[in-house]
Structure 1
């Protein structure tokens, strides 16, 4: 979480900051094998040098970016959780609760699916 301190402090809205901090801490606690860093101005988690998931903020939502393959695989569950998504990210509106079970399945899928993967992004 140390890598994310400056990012979190820059979030002006206290409620948004606390929500993002809670999600990032949960990922760190649930997947301690993941590495943390800021890249492309957003908190990112990697595993053995490959991208797993990233988070960012917007005015009306927190964005979750697990890569297109993962969004395609979990599209129905994303919608069932009350979120919308594009090809590259999931939008969790600030007033919506975080579906940690869905996040856990998406992250676990990426870790397993990218095991032994040598590139940062999927090709």
Structure 2
């Protein structure tokens, strides 16, 4: 039986300053209500590296959402992802007209509001 993707996603468990392995996986929620992992690009990476790897994977898999374990600050994770996405667009790796819906990323709206206030969002852990 072939499983059809219902929603494609990338999930990140960031590393602590590049000292640890950053978990970066892609997959989908299937029409069978199971989660299927299709890609794993996990490796020891800095925040610039894991965010770039996640953006590449999101573009390559046509992910609808990027989930991040917020263990060190939402604002930093959202900033890292936004910065990497824009850099990949400037380099031509991702077309300029392709942009993930920032509101779909967990905590994106709250992180922008917190950044405007100069504070951080509480961690979800």
TM over 0.5: no
When Rg is computed on C-alpha atoms for both structures, the one with the higher figure is 2
Considering fraction of residues, name the structure with more helix. Answer: 1
Higher relative contact order (CA 8 A, sep 6+): 2
Return the TM-score normalized by structure 1.
0.23
Return the TM-score normalized by structure 2.
0.23
